[in-house]
Amino acid sequence: MARKGKAVICREWNKPVSVEEVEVESPRRGEVMVRIKACGVCHSDLSGTNGTIPLPPPSVLGHEAAGVVEEVGEGVQRVAVGDHVIIIWIPMCGKCRYCAEGRPALCDASAKAAITLPDGTTRYKDSSDNPLNQFAGVGVMSEYATVHEDNVLPIDPDIPLDKAALVGCAVMTGVGAALNTARVQAGSTAVVFGAGGIGLNAIQGCALAGAQKVIAVDLEDKKLAFAQQFGATHTINPRVDGDPVAKIQELTGGGADYAFECIGVPEVIGQAYASVGKGGTCVVVGVTRPEGSVTLGTFMMPFQEKVLTGSMYGSARPSVDFPRLLALYQSHRLKLDELVTATYPIDDVQRAFDDMQSGANARGVLLM
Ligand SMILES: [Zn+2]
Ligand SMILES: [Zn+2]
């Protein structure tokens, strides 16, 4: 049965978002409707409102959510009505080359369904009966959302849904960049550029892996204070401390073993690459504007054997990683409670976006 509820909509780039009543269609074959209970406000949603991530409006925003299954379509096997689920913002088909290789974050299906369900259509309509896109293939900043069953993972109902939601993007992306993509070694040194929601989780991923030094770089002292809470052993504010690369080389005796760029600024990607020493690994997590580019000196490349790689969704394998991350939370080794520094009703979403931009929050979460 179709449902009506409030949803956060981007009507036009560089304009405030709106909260509107939408109609959410019943799940079709292989789909599920989720009653969303909590949705994190991620920098990628903001990037969706200003064209940095050029997914066309009008769309229902949101991709970091958890909720309760309300209705299932024909043939659904993964979940049943009443199950608690985390939204996975990449549909992982399980059949393509990358899924078969155990790298479902690179699934071929994801590029095909960036603003719709995998069949190319959407389940939202506005009050004038016009279809609305589903941001990142899910669009879950909404009281109800219909998504493909490949986009949900059932979890232990004891876990609070406002914390579980964060595992669906920020935690998976940041901790995964450290543990899955870079495979940070115990005793190593790491630097994380940008201490927002993703960066804080890259920091806690490095700390979990046993890095001896975790250096956080950010222009905001407030964010550097959060960074220390999540395991940073050293902080650098380039406004005060000057060139971060020189400082990192000094702190690490010639360059870090790992660097994570969690902002999406080409110049900072260059700094991150320069910050790692011989044999080190530089991981690009931040999403730049489509035209972004960076120039790297090539002469030293063979002599240094540095690795430069991207990290998509923390190289997530949700059915392996989400239960692991939640178990680490339950044993008090992964900080999720500390991550949620403010909650908002859906009507206050613009304030949540403003607070994210001012750096007031580790993470702000909408509660439905
Ligand atoms: Zn996100
Ligand atoms: Zn696939």
Confirm if 17 and 49 have CB atoms less than 8 A apart.
yes
Q: Which ligand has the nearest atom to the CA of 104?
A: 2
Instruction: Kindly give the distance from the C-alpha atom of residue 225 to the centroid of ligand 2, in angstroms, as a whole number.
Output: 39
Residues with Cβ within 8 Å of residue 290, at least 6 apart in sequence: 54
Please tell me the total number of residues recorded for the chain in this structure.
Answer: 368
The per-residue pLDDT for 149 is 94
pLDDT band of residue 76 (cuts 50, 70, 90) is very high
The per-residue pLDDT for 29 is 97
The per-residue pLDDT for 106 is 95
Q: Which ligand has the nearest atom to the CA of 136?
A: 1
Across the range 135-160, mean pLDDT stands at: 96
Across the range 275-284, mean pLDDT stands at: 98
In angstroms, rounded to a whole number, what is the distance separating the alpha carbons of residues 256 and 280? 7
Instruction: Kindly give the distance from the C-alpha atom of residue 269 to the centroid of ligand 1, in angstroms, as a whole number.
Output: 19
pLDDT band of residue 111 (cuts 50, 70, 90) is confident
pTM of the complete model: 0.95
Instruction: Kindly give the distance from the C-alpha atom of residue 289 to the centroid of ligand 2, in angstroms, as a whole number.
Output: 26
Give backbone dihedrals phi and psi of 363, rounded to 5 degrees, phi first: -150, 135
Instruction: Kindly give the distance from the C-alpha atom of residue 297 to the centroid of ligand 1, in angstroms, as a whole number.
Output: 32
Instruction: Kindly give the distance from the C-alpha atom of residue 92 to the centroid of ligand 2, in angstroms, as a whole number.
Output: 5
Q: Which ligand has the nearest atom to the CA of 118?
A: 2
pLDDT band of residue 186 (cuts 50, 70, 90) is very high
Instruction: Kindly give the distance from the C-alpha atom of residue 313 to the centroid of ligand 2, in angstroms, as a whole number.
Output: 14
With a pLDDT cut of 70, the percent of the chain lying above it is 100
Q: Which ligand has the nearest atom to the CA of 92?
A: 2
Instruction: Kindly give the distance from the C-alpha atom of residue 276 to the centroid of ligand 1, in angstroms, as a whole number.
Output: 26
Instruction: Kindly give the distance from the C-alpha atom of residue 212 to the centroid of ligand 2, in angstroms, as a whole number.
Output: 36
In angstroms, rounded to a whole number, what is the distance separating the alpha carbons of residues 159 and 148? 23
